[in-house]
Amino acid sequence: MEVRDANGALLKDGDNVTLIKDLKVKGTSVTLKRGTLVKGIRLTDDPELIDCRAEKVKDLVLRTEFVKKA
Protein backbone atom coordinates (compact mmCIF):
# COMPACT_ATOMS: atom_id res chain seq x y z
CA MET A 1 0.00 0.00 0.00
CA GLU A 2 1.39 3.40 -0.98
CA VAL A 3 0.64 6.46 1.11
CA ARG A 4 1.22 9.81 -0.57
CA ASP A 5 1.09 13.39 0.71
CA ALA A 6 -0.64 16.37 -0.94
CA ASN A 7 2.26 16.79 -3.40
CA GLY A 8 2.42 13.11 -4.31
CA ALA A 9 5.57 12.27 -2.30
CA LEU A 10 5.70 8.78 -0.84
CA LEU A 11 5.31 8.66 2.96
CA LYS A 12 6.60 5.97 5.32
CA ASP A 13 6.63 5.32 9.07
CA GLY A 14 8.78 7.80 10.99
CA ASP A 15 8.71 10.58 8.39
CA ASN A 16 8.28 14.22 9.35
CA VAL A 17 5.48 16.20 7.70
CA THR A 18 4.37 19.83 7.61
CA LEU A 19 0.76 21.04 7.62
CA ILE A 20 -0.29 22.94 4.50
CA LYS A 21 -3.51 24.35 5.97
CA ASP A 22 -4.77 25.62 9.35
CA LEU A 23 -6.70 22.76 10.96
CA LYS A 24 -9.17 22.94 13.83
CA VAL A 25 -8.96 19.87 16.06
CA LYS A 26 -12.39 18.44 16.86
CA GLY A 27 -13.19 18.19 20.55
CA THR A 28 -10.67 20.85 21.56
CA SER A 29 -10.17 24.58 21.19
CA VAL A 30 -6.80 24.03 19.51
CA THR A 31 -6.04 25.13 15.95
CA LEU A 32 -2.93 23.70 14.34
CA LYS A 33 -1.38 26.40 12.18
CA ARG A 34 -0.09 26.07 8.63
CA GLY A 35 3.59 25.17 8.66
CA THR A 36 3.45 23.16 11.91
CA LEU A 37 6.01 20.35 11.85
CA VAL A 38 4.72 16.94 12.89
CA LYS A 39 7.49 14.44 13.65
CA GLY A 40 7.45 10.67 13.51
CA ILE A 41 4.20 9.80 11.74
CA ARG A 42 2.73 6.30 11.73
CA LEU A 43 0.82 4.84 8.80
CA THR A 44 -2.64 3.33 9.28
CA ASP A 45 -4.62 0.72 7.35
CA ASP A 46 -6.28 3.55 5.41
CA PRO A 47 -3.94 5.14 2.81
CA GLU A 48 -5.65 8.53 3.31
CA LEU A 49 -4.98 8.73 7.08
CA ILE A 50 -1.84 9.00 9.21
CA ASP A 51 -1.44 8.69 12.97
CA CYS A 52 0.75 11.28 14.72
CA ARG A 53 1.37 13.55 17.68
CA ALA A 54 1.44 17.32 17.29
CA GLU A 55 2.99 19.72 19.79
CA LYS A 56 -0.34 20.53 21.46
CA VAL A 57 -2.39 17.40 20.73
CA LYS A 58 -1.54 13.76 21.40
CA ASP A 59 -2.95 10.86 19.38
CA LEU A 60 -4.01 12.80 16.33
CA VAL A 61 -5.21 11.37 13.02
CA LEU A 62 -4.59 13.56 9.98
CA ARG A 63 -5.72 13.23 6.39
CA THR A 64 -2.82 13.00 3.96
CA GLU A 65 -4.32 15.72 1.76
CA PHE A 66 -3.40 18.33 4.42
CA VAL A 67 0.29 17.43 4.85
CA LYS A 68 3.49 17.54 2.83
CA LYS A 69 6.72 15.70 3.47
CA ALA A 70 9.26 17.83 5.35
**DSSP string for residues in 6-54:** TT--EE-TT--EEESS-EEPTTSS-EEPTT-EE-S-EE-SSTTEEEE--
24-33 pLDDT tens trace: 999 889 999 9
Domains and CATH numbers, the chain: 3-69 (2.30.30.40)
Mean pLDDT value of segment 11-33: 94
- pTM (2 decimals)? 0.88
Q: Give the strand pairing for 42-43 and 49-52.
A: antiparallel
Mean pLDDT value of segment 55-65: 91
